Structure 1
Amino acid sequence: MTGKIYLVGAGPGDPELLTLKAARLIAAAEVAVFDRLVADAVLDLLPPACLRIDVGKETGRHCVPQDEINAILVNLGLAGHRVVRLKGGDPFIFGRGGEEAEVLAAAGVAFEIVPGITAAAGCAAAAGIPLTHRGVAQGLRLLTGHRQDDGELDFDWHRLADPTCTLVVYMGVASAERLAGGLRGAGLSGETPVAIIERGTTPDQRTLFSSLADLAADMVRWQPKPPSLLIIGAVVNHALTPHMDHVGREAAQ
């Protein structure tokens, strides 16, 4: 008899942002398989007897290959275990949850998706930045700055260079200069504001403010560390962080 795999969104870092369902499953987990972006404060909620399988890092390697993670989940499910598969943010937003769900379905392993607060929503809220705002931003686009083959970003820059739309870039630190250049080359003003949110929603959050024109130089100066998220668009000018004393803010000087 097969077990069941719960693909659980662990949110952006603050354990109080877990859904009630996610918190309940974590507290009762028999086995937990987790990524490197799952916050330690969330892992602390696992029961002492829970078997923990860290697939986010391994000695001498950056991460466990996705095919190996898929095999781990299938084998655990076929062995009858009830598994909490923890993913930072939401499992279906740049979390490869869709790939894992397809593999589990093909293997006949029961699974359930438990959504979580994605980094775009959680980090923007923690930094006091409205992702949409009447008369300022009529739309929102979520992008990844990481390419699986480490190749060049291949966005349709002219479609992205829309001043009425907020862009949120996951894993965008390494590609910040290319992003800024592509957007400016497609006509987006160099004065367009940018927020870099490092370790969002955690006590170590750092919120940095720049512009497309200054972004490359500011990234070199500030050296933000992952996990960091970029928010690009006029909504950044509406950040409310001066009134939110739990958020660290470092303005461009």
Structure 2
Amino acid sequence: MAEHPAYPVGLRLTGRRVVVLGGGQVAQRRLPALIAAGADIFLVSPGATASVEAMADAGEITWQRRRYEEGDLENAWYALIATGDTEANTRASAEAERRRVWCVRSDDADEATAWTPATGHSEGVTVAVLTTDAKGRDPRHTAAIRDAVVEGLRDGTLVAPHHRTRMPGVALVGGGPGDPDLITVRGRRLLAEADVVIADRLGPRDLLAELPPHVEVIDAAKIPYGRFMAQEAINSALIEHAKQGKSVVRLKGGDPYVFGRGMEELQALAEVGIPCTVVPGISSSISVPSAAGIPVTHRGVAHEFTVVSGHVAPDDERSLVDWPSLAGLTGTLVILMGVDKIGKIAETLVAHGKPADTPVALVQEGTTAAQRRVDATLATVAETVRTEDVKPPAVIVIGEVVKVGPTASAPRE
């Protein structure tokens, strides 16, 4: 048997009896995939890990709390033998051979009639990798190949063309705070498959350079005090290209729904019947403070954090923020889009009871190579922004958590 390679095949186990002998770490790793396959799982083991026991308690498997007995493999289609008893494993695999049940042995692959491949999944595709040479089996090498293929499919660096017609539509993709490595794997895959990308300035711009030459990139940058593309024009561009049967990605910074006007775009698409997928992104409100060494919550310091838009001043009639109530909170206050309004914001918070010496950190261009952090207090932050020439985009963190991290610096006095 060792002279011939294993024959790869996909087993359809829905409703079919699968016997698992042993409730340890091997079973814990293999059972979720068998459950997902819809198998009727019969576990035989005197004990089990907490995770395996939870599967039994949830009714996902049937557990017989005893050792293997002759006849346990009757009517089985597939067996996983993974006990710590070599003699029992040998008897069970012999029974499997007599009953013509494909059998995996965790303790002796050479005595098994089946091998478990290293598997991974990506959008409806299962990648399964087996070593063809039985004598030179190297599970780590096999797993590394699996990981490389799956990662390539997920992040778009390994692109396989679709031979069936793709459904046109729009994906609102949250690109994260700026570092291209912080986009989700689903977002990156959709980006790699796009025909048209409408990108914000705060999206992960480095990813645009990886797009194939045929992809049309539309600049929807909303640069403060500079040129911008009106929201209505963005909506129209999304609709126009989707109606042409193209796959469109709206690449946004952070998360589409955190001050990203994503719902406005989704509503515009829904009104004309264009399907839309929303891919969440890592919000800068938590990722940028984290990148600067600031936890937005910390035991004994802050049990809450509040994210606020600072694009309009507290005394602006358009403001929807209850600044007096925010001043009374003891947790962390995170302000986005508030660099040019921070003086008025700090003044308002202090006027409503927030201590003037409350620590403040401003993190500019967070998660990028240009990231820098400037510390101040509510009393000094307006002057600090001017003297340090802090520019947007910058995330502002107000609260005692600013002083927690190992990289905390002394505030400007």
What TM-score comes out, normalization by structure 1 length? 0.90
Query: What is the correspondence of 1:37-76 to structure 2 with a 5 Å cutoff?
Result: 37-56=202-221, 62-76=227-241
Does the 8 A contact of 2:297 with 2:303 survive in 1? yes
Counterpart for residue 104 of structure 1: 269
Q: 1:210 aligns with which of 344, 368, 376?
A: 376
Q: Per-residue displacement from partner, 1:83-139 (whole Å, max 9, x unpaired)?
A: 010000000100000110111111100000001101112101100111011121121
How far apart in 1 are the matches of 2:350 and 2:296? 21
162 and 136 in structure 1: CA distance in 2 versus 1, 3 angstrom threshold? farther
Q: 1:16 aligns with which of 168, 181, 188?
A: 181
- Say if 2:294 is the partner of 1:129: yes
Q: 1:83 aligns with which of 248, 253, 260?
A: 248
Q: 1:172 aligns with which of 338, 357, 368?
A: 338
| Counterpart residue type for residue 252 of structure 1 | R
Counterpart for residue 172 of structure 2: 7
Q: 2:303 aligns with which of 131, 138, 153?
A: 138
Structure 1 position 151, deviation (Å): 4.0
Counterpart for residue 362 of structure 2: 196
216 and 57 in structure 1: CA distance in 2 versus 1, 3 angstrom threshold? closer
| Counterpart residue type for residue 298 of structure 2 | H
- Say if 2:282 is the partner of 1:117: yes
Q: Per-residue displacement from partner, 1:134-168 (whole Å, max 9, x unpaired)?
A: 121121111111139x9464532221013422111
How far apart in 1 are the matches of 2:304 and 2:228? 34
Structure with higher RCO (Cα < 8 A, 6+ apart) = 1
| Counterpart residue type for residue 94 of structure 1 | F
| Counterpart residue type for residue 207 of structure 2 | V
- Say if 2:412 is the partner of 1:252: yes
How far apart in 1 are the matches of 2:328 and 2:190? 41
How far apart in 2 are the matches of 1:112 and 1:182? 40
| Counterpart residue type for residue 356 of structure 2 | G
Does the 8 A contact of 1:208 with 1:250 survive in 2? no
Does the 8 A contact of 2:377 with 2:412 survive in 1? no
Aligned length: 245
Structure 1 position 45, deviation (Å): 3.0
Structure 2 gap ranges (5+): 1-165
Greater shift, 158-167 or 78-87, is seen at: 158-167
208 and 112 in structure 1: CA distance in 2 versus 1, 3 angstrom threshold? same
How far apart in 1 are the matches of 2:330 and 2:361? 16
Identity of aligned residues (%): 41
* Max Rg structure: 2
| Counterpart residue type for residue 383 of structure 2 | A
How far apart in 2 are the matches of 1:241 and 1:18? 25
What TM-score comes out, normalization by structure 2 length? 0.56
Q: Over the residues paired in the alignment, what is the CA RMSD in angstroms?
A: 2.3
How far apart in 1 are the matches of 2:183 and 2:271? 29
How far apart in 2 are the matches of 1:132 and 1:238? 10
49 and 250 in structure 1: CA distance in 2 versus 1, 3 angstrom threshold? farther
SS of corresponding position for 2:368: coil
Structure 1 position 44, deviation (Å): 2.2
151 and 68 in structure 1: CA distance in 2 versus 1, 3 angstrom threshold? farther
SS of corresponding position for 1:44: helix
How far apart in 2 are the matches of 1:83 and 1:43? 14
How far apart in 1 are the matches of 2:176 and 2:312? 22
Does the 8 A contact of 2:359 with 2:411 survive in 1? no
Structure 1 gap ranges (5+): 243-248
Does the 8 A contact of 1:2 with 1:78 survive in 2? no
| Counterpart residue type for residue 397 of structure 2 | I
